[in-house]
Amino acid sequence: MMELHERLSTSRPIAPQTGPDPFADVKNRIHLAVISELGPQLFNTTMEPAALRDRVRDDIRTALDI
């Protein structure tokens, strides 16, 4: 199983920003909501990466109320 630090280190690189991010506030609120919802599950080494990714997507959609 992949550890949390391995999951984070294999994520896609973030593109450099050329100016202020107009969505920074929204992204920060969504990030905090997902982390607070998933918290302990992020350290669950038995959870498959695909299942965790699906759960994060679901939580983001819920937070955005899509």
pTM above 0.75, yes or no: no
What's the whole-number mean pLDDT along residues 61-65?
85
Instruction: State the amino acid at position 63 in one-letter form.
Output: A
pLDDT confidence of residue 35: 86
pLDDT confidence of residue 34: 85
pLDDT confidence of residue 10: 63
